[in-house]
Amino acid sequence: MTLGAVLRKIFMVDILTGMSVTFRHQKQADVITEQYPLERPVIAERYRGQPRLAVDPETGETLCNGCGMCVTACPEKLITVTSERDPETKKKKMTTYTLDLSRCMFCGLCQEACPTDCIELTQDYEMALYSREGMVLSREQLEQGPKPTVYER
Amino acid sequence: MEPLTRYLSSNVTPGEAGDMLWITIYILIVFAGVSVAVICMNWLERKILAHMQIRLGPMRVGPHGLLQPIADAVKLLIKEDVIPAKADKLMFWFAPLIVVMTAFTLFLVVPFGRTHAVTDMNIGILFMLGASSLSVLGVIIGGWSSNSHYPLLGALRSSAQMVSYEIAMGLAIVAAVLMTSLQTGTGTLSMIGIVESQAAQQTWFAFQFFPLGFIALVIFSIAMVAETNRAPFDLPEAESELVAGFMTEYSGIRWSLFFLAEYASMMAVSSIAVTLWLGGWLRPFPNALGGHAWDVAFSLVPGIAFLGLAAMCLLGAIRMPKVGALRVQTVGLAGFGVVLGLVGLVMLLPGVRERVQDIFWFVAKASIFMYLYIWYRGTFPRYRFDQLMKVGWKVLLPIALAVLILTALVGVRQELYAVFAGVIR
């Protein structure tokens, strides 16, 4: 052992260096904790979260034309659409729409397939529930879209 | 009014005066004070440790988690009290009591000021050492009576560690006690006597025969960490190896008794260090900044410190977001600030500040050691058991012996010089 190493040991230089490191880290500016329900992270635009069905913002009618492209596109086969032909306009009209979120892997293929940009994946990620049944989203739930809880202390 | 005037006119501790009423009051005050300090320490430790690890620590219960210890205490008190079926019931029940009682008994002789101690024993420091070693018994009983592997292993480790570090600790203490015999020729073991001899020699023992006193202080401050089973010497309760050591089978209120005792004994050994080496209740810089004006200035410090705390609380209350849900907290913080401010103002009164400043300086010095405990815990990884024993027996013990011998030699030399120079003491 060299003299320097011995002196380092006697005066506990390494121990004091370590202690100065922890002391300097005490300043509040270093804290990287996010107070989650109060502070939320910024979610990227292209994040694929809970799906929703878009409605026409003026008339409030669904954009879905009941074509069923999303049903065929879905690799997990978790979307079911029923539709009927409108006797007056002779156009297909969507009647019910269910999406089983519990099996969804958020691949976004339904969004790609949709010709009217009706189904889309939102940036919402709070999907925890107490029952499996609740994970099957109905047309109304999908059209209302995700409603994240707003927390205050 | 008679007891009050009797107390105010006395300039010895109630124990010396034989005043049963004030002894009882002092015991109650010390008991309550130590318990409150444990609560504060719990919060501070979690906060400071969190900040050292770049976290926030408790934030939810009260402003900045100030009420978290109370929430924890309530949770521990209403928890189910489990005694393992195969455990020795009586001993299992008895172990936490031993640990708590010894930890609190230590505070009988801790001198918070010349008049602010329950009593002054002429063997005060021996009493502290003896009573604090009794807590090893509680730890062993607790680990053994649990009738389980981890507690037993933890208790054995703990007893080996506490016993082996007591030697280095004792030698360091003897070095300081030797210093009390300088100038007078007769040393003292009384806690108050030790502080008074530091006042008479006009130096704290940490700076007496520099660096000898300081090395003794360093040895003591390492040994006391091992003695109280705190990180980095927390092998008896090494979570990753032994679950929780001797406390594994304990839960609820019994566990919280162990917790209380751990922090109380931390404070007790810190106050030994303060008494022996850092001048106990004496204010800092009595020589360099001496004289009446400085005395008054230093006696104002406690009141000003409290006013500063009050200002911080009020500032925090003003800066609190104006949300309905936060109203109770804001009002509570402001009220706390007002109370602190009133206490600070009372401490500025001439009659009060002379009596209170002793306690303030003692507690301020002891809290440095409490901060060091947290600091160590945030910095150092745990020692392996052989490393622990190596540090205790091969490093601290020889250094402590050398310091003891050198202190004796230097002290004798100084006394002989004084005799030859004809200094009359």
- Which residues, 6 or more positions from B206, have their beta carbon under 8 angstroms from its beta carbon? B213, B214, B217, B277, B278
Assess B55–A contact: CB distance below 8 Å, yes or no.
yes
So what's the pLDDT on residue B165?
87
Residue B96 scores a pLDDT above 70: yes
Average per-residue pLDDT for chain B: 84
Rounded to two decimals, the ipTM of the complex is 0.72
Q: Which helix (H) or strand (E) holds A137?
A: strand A136-137
* B85 band by pLDDT with thresholds 50, 70 and 90: confident
DSSP assignment letter at B254: H
Q: Between A29 and B128, name the one with better pLDDT.
A: B128
Residue of B nearest to A18 (CA): B379
As a whole number of angstroms, the distance between CA B238 and CA A127 comes to 38
Which residues of chain B neighbour A153 with C-beta distances below 8 Å?
60, 323, 325-326
Contact (Cβ atoms closer than 8 angstroms) between residue B138 and residue B226: no
Residue of A nearest to B57 (CA): A33
Is A124 contained in some domain?
yes
Which residues of chain B neighbour A18 with C-beta distances below 8 Å?
379-380
Written as six digits, the tokens of A83 are 């539709």
pLDDT in tens, B100-149: 999 888 888 888 888 888 888 888 888 888 888 888 888 888 888 888 88
Of B39-48, B83-92, B101-110, the least confident: B83-92
Interface with chain B: mutation pick from A26, A30, A34, highest number of B CBs within 10 Å = A26
Is A99 contained in some domain?
yes
As a whole number of angstroms, the distance between CA B195 and CA B279 comes to 6
Is B162 contained in some domain?
yes
Contact (Cβ atoms closer than 8 angstroms) between residue B23 and residue B118: yes
So what's the pLDDT on residue B210?
80
Assess A35–B contact: CB distance below 8 Å, yes or no.
yes
* B213 band by pLDDT with thresholds 50, 70 and 90: confident
A28 and A58 in a common domain: no
Residue of B nearest to A33 (CA): B55
Mean local confidence (pLDDT), A3-26: 87
In the numeric block, the tokens 């815990």 are attached to B377
Q: How far is A131 from chain B (nearest CA, A)?
A: 28
| Count of the separate structural domains present in chain B | 1
Strand partners, A80: A98
Q: How far is CA B39 from the centre of its chain?
A: 14
A129 and A61 in a common domain: yes
Is A149 contained in some domain?
no
DSSP assignment letter at A102: G
**CA-closest candidate to residue B67, choices B91, B47, B95:** B47
DSSP assignment letter at B119: -
pLDDT in tens, B367-409: 899 999 899 888 888 888 888 888 888 888 999 999 999 988 9
As a whole number of angstroms, the distance between CA B248 and CA B254 comes to 11
| Omega within 30 of 0 (cis) for the link into B302 | no
Host domain of residue A89: 51-144
- Which residues, 6 or more positions from B40, have their beta carbon under 8 angstroms from its beta carbon? B69
As a whole-number percent, the residues of chain B with pLDDT over 90 amount to 4
Mean local confidence (pLDDT), B400-419: 88
Phi (first) and psi of residue A117, to 5 degrees: 55, 40
Residue B352 scores a pLDDT above 80: no
* B238 band by pLDDT with thresholds 50, 70 and 90: low
So what's the pLDDT on residue B401?
92
Is B413 contained in some domain?
yes
Is A68 contained in some domain?
yes
A85 and A23 in a common domain: no
So what's the pLDDT on residue A4?
86
Q: Which helix (H) or strand (E) holds B301?
A: helix B292-319
Who among A21, A26, A33 is closest to B48 (CB)? A26
A98 and A24 in a common domain: no
So what's the pLDDT on residue B324?
67
Residue A2 scores a pLDDT above 60: yes
Letter string b/e over residues B241-277, b meaning 16 or more CB atoms within 10 A of that residue's CB: ebbbbbbbbbeeebbbbbbbbbbbbbbbbbbbbbbbb
Residue A153 scores a pLDDT above 60: no
| Count of the separate structural domains present in chain A | 2
Interchain CB distance below 8 Å, A153 and B326: yes
A69 and A128 in a common domain: yes
Written as six digits, the tokens of B85 are 């079926």
A68 and A5 in a common domain: no
Mean local confidence (pLDDT), A68-76: 89
Phi (first) and psi of residue A55, to 5 degrees: -120, 160
CATH number at residue A138: 3.30.70.3270
Is A150 contained in some domain?
no
- Which residues, 6 or more positions from B224, have their beta carbon under 8 angstroms from its beta carbon? B169, B269, B270, B272, B273, B369
* B412 band by pLDDT with thresholds 50, 70 and 90: confident
Distance between the two ends of chain A, CA-based, in angstroms? 58
So what's the pLDDT on residue B325?
66
Measure the CA dihedral B140/B142/B147/B151, to 10°: -70
In the numeric block, the tokens 């070095």 are attached to B175
> 3-class SS at A18?
helix
Host domain of residue B394: 14-282+349-421
Strand partners, A120: A52
Which residues of chain B neighbour A35 with C-beta distances below 8 Å?
56, 59
So what's the pLDDT on residue B204?
84
A123 and A78 in a common domain: yes
Is A67 contained in some domain?
yes
Which residues of chain A neighbour B378 with C-beta distances below 8 Å?
22
Interchain CB distance below 8 Å, B379 and A33: no
Strand partners, A51: A121
Of A20-34, B59-73, B312-326, the least confident: B312-326
pLDDT in tens, B245-290: 778 888 888 888 888 888 998 999 999 899 888 888 888 877 777 7
Contact (Cβ atoms closer than 8 angstroms) between residue B116 and residue B281: yes
Which residues of chain B neighbour A28 with C-beta distances below 8 Å?
51
Interchain CB distance below 8 Å, A35 and B378: no
Written as six digits, the tokens of B178 are 């030797």
| Beta carbons within 10 angstroms of residue B189's beta carbon | 18
Q: Between A66 and B423, name the one with better pLDDT.
A: A66
Interchain CB distance below 8 Å, A35 and B59: yes
A111 and A66 in a common domain: yes
Who among A30, A33, A153 is closest to B325 (CB)? A153
So what's the pLDDT on residue B60?
79
Is A127 contained in some domain?
yes
So what's the pLDDT on residue B424?
64
> 3-class SS at B191?
helix
Residue A152 scores a pLDDT above 70: no
Q: How far is B368 from chain A (nearest CA, A)?
A: 14
Residue B239 scores a pLDDT above 70: no
Residue B425 scores a pLDDT above 70: no
Phi (first) and psi of residue A100, to 5 degrees: -85, 100
Alpha-helical runs (H) found in B180-238: 191-201, 212-227
